[in-house]
Structure 1
Amino acid sequence: MVVKVKNSNRWVTPGWYQDDRLSITEGLDELAASYGVKITTPTLRGVFTLKGGQISTRLIYTTRIKSGELKAPDIIEEIKWLPIPKAVETITFPHIRVQITQLTNYPDVVWGGAQTMYLENGVYGSKIVEDFYPLSGARK
């Protein structure tokens, strides 16, 4: 699932900025509820550091919708369900495209790594600054 942020040309995966009020599970459940759905127990797939303006840690989970009717939250203009290659092509930010490609190429591994993100001449770019490495699971 990819979503288009309202009043922009940015396509991303659904996400939320964690704060000290919510655990990860509570935050993911709240994110799902904002889309009108309940989800299965999330599975951690990646832990990535993103440098760009500020440093953030990106936790990537997979899950499935178990009930509800999908709706777009106020900040989302459009939702698309796409095959992974088309989703990767649609996503605006290169660091997300690289992460999803890594995770789908090695589905039995939880990955870590670090990237930078930058904007140059109106185009988003990224660079891997710490090669991806397995946190758990076996590399094929």
Structure 2
Amino acid sequence: MKTIVTLCVVMLCLLSCNNDGHQDPTHNFVVQRIIILNEKNEILMSREENVWATPSLVYNKRQYLKEGLDSLLNEYGVKIKNLELRGQFSYKYDYHPYATLRNYFVATYDSGELKTPNRMDDAKWIPIDQAIEKNSVTSIKEITQQIMKYPNVIWGGSFMVSHVGDNHPTKMIEPFYPLFQSKEN
């Protein structure tokens, strides 16, 4: 009987060790970020505490991409059209061994009345130049600026995220490079 109990304990320990980290979606995940433009050439921005950025979704649920984006947009009360991928960026962290991917989309506002999601402190339309400057995270600011400056290119690049007190400063490691360029103007 002791042997069976010991084997069960060992097996449970092995199973828990094998699942630790590799199955945890908070370590390896994808962030979907949408730059939504309205007819006044404004970008939808939201604020959580002191951080301003474009709407985003941590893609770690069992959803199709479109389901996740629709869920995010529903939180803001808006519908979009002309959704296009504009960038894919990799992030490493100097304080843990995991990496993440960040996909950036651009879309046009179609309809709906803007509302502030429960998890956010504010949401509003801001003119493009002001919105780019208002981005609180350096990498988000740099990526948004690059995408808006060169709208016919799908961009790639890499960033390192540090942990300094309560802050997580980012540093570009691989400069922006085109993944695809449209033949259009």
Range class of TM-score, shorter chain:
0.7 to 0.9
Distance 2:149 2:138 in 1: 16
SS of structure 1 residue aligned to 2:59: coil
Q: What amino acid is aligned across from residue 99 of structure 2 in structure 1? A: I
Higher percent of residues as helix: 2
Structure 2 equivalent of residue 60 of structure 1: 104
User: Given that residues 46 and 111 in structure 1 are in contact (C-alpha distance below 8 angstroms), is that contact kept between their aligned partners in structure 2?
Assistant: yes
1:25 aligns with 2:66: yes
**Alignment partner of 1:79 out of 123, 134, 141:** 123
SS of structure 2 residue aligned to 1:76: coil
Kindly report which structure 2 residues correspond to 1:1-140, keeping only aligned pairs within 5 A, or say none.
1-5=44-48, 8-52=49-93, 53=96, 54-120=98-164, 124-137=168-181
User: Given that residues 158 and 175 in structure 2 are in contact (C-alpha distance below 8 angstroms), is that contact kept between their aligned partners in structure 1?
Assistant: yes
TM-score (norm 2): 0.68
Query: Root-mean-square deviation (CA), in Å?
Result: 2.0
User: Given that residues 114 and 124 in structure 2 are in contact (C-alpha distance below 8 angstroms), is that contact kept between their aligned partners in structure 1?
Assistant: no
TM-score (norm 1): 0.87
Q: What amino acid is aligned across from residue 116 of structure 1 in structure 2? A: M
Is the alpha carbon distance of 1:117 and 1:63 closer, same or farther for their aligned partners in structure 2, counting shifts above 3 Å? same
Q: Deviations over 1:12-34 (max 9, x none)?
A: 11000112521211111111011
User: Given that residues 29 and 39 in structure 1 are in contact (C-alpha distance below 8 angstroms), is that contact kept between their aligned partners in structure 2?
Assistant: no
Q: Which has the higher contact order (CA 8 A, sep 6+)?
A: 1
Size of the aligned set, in residue pairs, is 138
| Identical counterparts, % of pairs | 34
The structure with the largest alpha-carbon Rg is 2
Distance 1:80 1:20 in 2: 27
